[in-house]
Structure 1
Amino acid sequence: PVQVVWRKAELALSERRFDPAEGTIWQQLAASFDPLHQRQDLTRAPLLNFTVAQEEDGCWCALQQWHHLIGDHSTLAFMEQEVSEILAGRGAQLGAAQPFRNAVAQARLTLSEAEHESFFRDMLADISEPVLPFGLSDVHGEGRQIVSRYQALSSALNLRLRRQARRLGVSLASLCHLAWAQVLARVSGRDAVVFGTVLLGRLQGGEGAERALGLFINTLPLRLDIDRRGAEAAAREAHVRLSGLLAHEHAPLALAQRCSGVSPGAPLFSALLNYRHNNGEAVSLPEGVSLLSAEERTNYPFVLSVEDGGDSLGITAQVTETVDAQRVCDYMAQALGSLAQALEQAPETPVCSLAVVPEAERELLLHGWNRTERGY
């Protein structure tokens, strides 16, 4: 691979005109740049484009397109904060920009390749087959058949999970990773579950990384065993494994994959978990500006994002259209509820025995479709 660095990349801004008789202006604007039909030119920096159109009432609509190659969730929040500061007349007070090359250099100065290999071989050496929920194996898709569904979890479940995380001295993220592993164990038929987890990538980024713009996140495999060990022991093990992975947050995914026993060319996993903290940082828009819509795309066929709002908890499933996205949310909600109940009442309960199928679906499978009162 060859990387070409542009010393100067000018922001692209263009204006479009639409006929109000053909529909809402902002919807026409969004439709004209639908990422399902139009892709960004990856040879043109900075992979950040704005297109504006004026409504009949004089308001302006702005469509922002950007590629994940240049930034992550934190980067987007920082950009919006800085725009707000500039519009409020405080642009001169902004700190100096942190060059992304500093983060690259810092990442190369941390653990050696040999240390990364040792860690991932210990975790993955005995994994000889890909872990594929519902048999989904295409991890190079274009997001064309991805369906998204959001579900808010009850405040009671949110509090119960946080209470158990504090009691055990583990993170809420660890409990969510364990619940996701329970779901994947059932829908892939595997006890040793491997899935990708999205890491923030800023912990080892060096000075100023917490405010730097750029793509810091990384996706790396996490292996959890859904076996006869008790729920509490499994929760502690998930926390240990997830914490250990953080030290390797800049390891290449290709390196991790080759440390497994899976044949080259086959994906090690096709499911992701993205645990993200949403504390209102992504909606700090300037006064007079409102968010009309936002859309994101993924190439993985089976993705679950946990939306941690501090005092709230939600889940977003992004899955290929051959799978019911609502069903995936229901499985995750049930897995979290079963895990919370086991930790509260019977922490020695084998983690492999905890319910993942919701009661309504279980009733349908066992009883609704087995009603044989009538003769044929």
Structure 2
Amino acid sequence: MAEERSEDRVGRLSAARRELLALWLAEEPSEATGSTPHADPATAEEHVLARVWREVLEVERIGVDDDYFALGGDSIHAIVIVARAREAGLHLTAQDLFEQRTVRALARLAVPVEETELPEAEAPDRADLPLGPMQQGMLYHSVGGSSAGAYVVQVTCRLVGDLDRDAFRAAWQEVVTATPALRACFRFAEGDEPRQVVVPDVVVPMVFTDWRPLSTEERTARLEEHLDADRERGFALSEAPLSRLAVFQEADDRHVCVWTHHHLILDGWSQQHVLRDVLDRYDALVRGERTTPPSRPSFAAYLDWLADQDPAADETYWRDRLAGFGAPTRVAGPGCVDGQVVAARRREATLRISEQATEKLGAFCREHGVTAGSVLTAGWGLLLAGHHSVDDVLFGVTVSGRPAELPGATEMVGLFINTLPLRLSCPADTTATRWLANTQHTMAELREHQHLPLSRVERAAGRGRSGGLFDSIVVVENFPTWVGDGSGSARLRVEEPAVLIDEGYPLVLEITPGATVLLRARYDPNRLDHARVHAALVALETYVDALVSDPTTTLAVLRTRMVERWQEHVDEGRRSSRERGEQRLRAARRRAETVTEPETTSGGDR
């Protein structure tokens, strides 16, 4: 059979899916690759890799000597490129991509493998399945002492347009029916291995409420009340579905949608798949099309792939990697059980790096062959090192968990992510650029061993669940954002998307790349105060600016700068907090002084 051209496949896509392809990675790649002269691919391997680069990086013309980072490549592009190259018969790793950086160099290094086909969709008889690595730990904490709202994810957005309620409900129901992960629940008993069970017939709960008579202030208050009650309601994990929807009408053409699900069934990448599928189905139903949605590659295929892996190499890696590490590098002091959620509502501190500073960071990354996520993740490690006055730090990082070796992994829906320890050495006399290159190599190496549950990593390090290895994690939100602010379907526009979640750690630093990098710290107010958390974000921004301004700066200089800046902002934040409190107190006293006491009348009650 003749090989199907990618242009033919694209031509069969719906308008919405063509939009999805156009938004596959929401970065505009640079059209120029510097002064390197253009050279067309010559060998078969070069042709394959150039085609993959064109598709993923969305660049029409790829030369074999064009630089990967100059074309706008980053860690998420790398995952997709490695996966598609594997499907086309060439084996390489993300680390190969970061180090070689050109099609010509990669073609020499790539190892031929048999071309693979996508796994079939979920078979009807695959109703009883094991748990993935992250699911194991998350289920353990969900049933072992965490609050009812533990790991409950709330996705909120505003839908602008004429909403057809029947079509919207039907679109969700069809996607739930076609997606096994959305019909999964969990069965567990003492002494037995927990299992996830896919229920064949599930109806997704959806309620519509009319808020049009309410004022803006009343709607805001009602939404907060709903989110709090909805989160505290939680889920009975043994009953499917572990998701529900609430839609609140604000105006004839405006609705607020709250999609609540348990984190056990979906990660952020999968959320985007589900939302995109729902919007596609909604458009089709409004047009009168009654075809069923296409089935995605099976999550069960990923679990089968995991079962075939030998964990010995991963256990050896983690045992060696964590050997000799001392006390955990904590941000909140002792007393944390990693992953256990004891308070359902966290607070946030945010900082947005300016567009100019973000462009400066991007230029630095392209020049030195590192990703923005690597730089900011490394910056958090350096912050911890300076704060604790140590050269050896450890904190958590979240990895995608989608194996490039498994065909179709990037298209699957389920919980793939994993949270693992990142140990960094911070020698004082090392230059920033050299250290960042070493850090990126360490992170790429970690991803080669990302499928071991955290509990087994802790055991390999000689620590049980009660102690834990870290109490802060860094999450780089670098999955493709297919449903973003201002996007949506042909008939509905999605605005103000937001996600509320508690991952069970005192502090979670979420990094969202874009035209301006957003730093968001979710923290436990019982363990950390806002001034300290916000000061940490400011110090991190300071580090990034110093790094890209002077790449030859040593870590010793950077650490000194950051510790001083952190403490300055902690003190400033606490002074501001006290001043605001004193101002409120003075205002309250003034109001009290202006109130006239009511006259009283003797002679009994009236």
What is the aligned partner in structure 2 of residue 319 from structure 1?
523
Unmatched tracts of structure 2, length 5 or more: 1-192, 576-606
What is the CA–CA distance in structure 2 between the aligned matches of 1:161 and 1:326, rounded to whole Å? 21
Q: Is the 8 A contact 1:128 1:262 kept in 2?
A: no
User: Taking CA–CA contacts closer than 8 Å with sequence separation of 6 or more, which of the two structures ends up with the larger relative contact order?
Assistant: 1
Q: Deviations over 1:302-356 (max 9, x none)?
A: 11111112x331211112223223222212212222222331xx24554764521
Q: Is the 8 A contact 2:508 2:522 kept in 1?
A: yes
- With over 3 angstroms needed to count, the CA separation of the structure-2 counterparts of 1:164 and 1:14, relative to structure 1, is closer
What is the aligned partner in structure 2 of residue 356 from structure 1?
562
Of residues 413, 426, 431 in structure 2, which corresponds to 1:230? 431
What is the aligned partner in structure 1 of residue 315 from structure 2?
117
Residue 214 in structure 1 maps to residue 422 in structure 2: no
Write the mapping of 1:133-282 to structure 2, written as runs, cut at 5 A: 133-135=331-333, 137-138=335-336, 139=338, 140-144=340-344, 146-204=346-404, 206-228=406-428, 229-262=430-463, 265-277=466-478, 280-282=481-483
- With over 3 angstroms needed to count, the CA separation of the structure-2 counterparts of 1:12 and 1:215, relative to structure 1, is same
What is the CA–CA distance in structure 1 between the aligned matches of 2:218 and 2:301, rounded to whole Å? 44
What is the CA–CA distance in structure 1 between the aligned matches of 2:253 and 2:547, rounded to whole Å? 53
Task: Give the number of aligned pairs.
Answer: 363
Q: Deviations over 1:181-201 (max 9, x none)?
A: 011223444431111111011
Q: For 1:65, what is the secondary structure of its paired residue?
A: strand
What is the aligned partner in structure 2 of residue 128 from structure 1?
326
| Matched letter for residue 328 of structure 1 | A
Q: Deviations over 1:220-247 (max 9, x none)?
A: 1110012222222211110110010111
- With over 3 angstroms needed to count, the CA separation of the structure-2 counterparts of 1:351 and 1:121, relative to structure 1, is farther
Of residues 295, 308, 313 in structure 2, which corresponds to 1:96? 295
What is the CA–CA distance in structure 1 between the aligned matches of 2:435 and 2:480, rounded to whole Å? 28
Residue 84 in structure 1 maps to residue 279 in structure 2: yes
| Matched letter for residue 67 of structure 1 | H
| CA-based RMSD | 3.0
Q: Is the 8 A contact 1:126 1:261 kept in 2?
A: no
My pick for the range that moved more, 272-281 or 285-294, is 285-294
Q: Deviations over 1:28-79 (max 9, x none)?
A: 2552342553222222222111133445748554321111111111111111
Residue 304 in structure 1 maps to residue 509 in structure 2: yes
What is the aligned partner in structure 2 of residue 374 from structure 1?
none
TM-score (ref. length: structure 1): 0.85
What is the CA–CA distance in structure 1 between the aligned matches of 2:370 and 2:223, rounded to whole Å? 46
Unmatched tracts of structure 1, length 5 or more: 370-376
Q: For 1:203, what is the secondary structure of its paired residue?
A: coil
Q: For 2:396, what is the secondary structure of its paired residue?
A: strand
Q: For 1:70, what is the secondary structure of its paired residue?
A: coil
Of residues 21, 44, 51 in structure 1, which corresponds to 2:239? 44
What is the aligned partner in structure 2 of residue 107 from structure 1?
306
My pick for the range that moved more, 48-57 or 69-78, is 48-57
Q: Which has the larger radius of gyration?
A: 2
My pick for the range that moved more, 212-221 or 41-50, is 41-50
What is the CA–CA distance in structure 1 between the aligned matches of 2:218 and 2:330, rounded to whole Å? 42
TM superposition shift of 1:92? 4.3
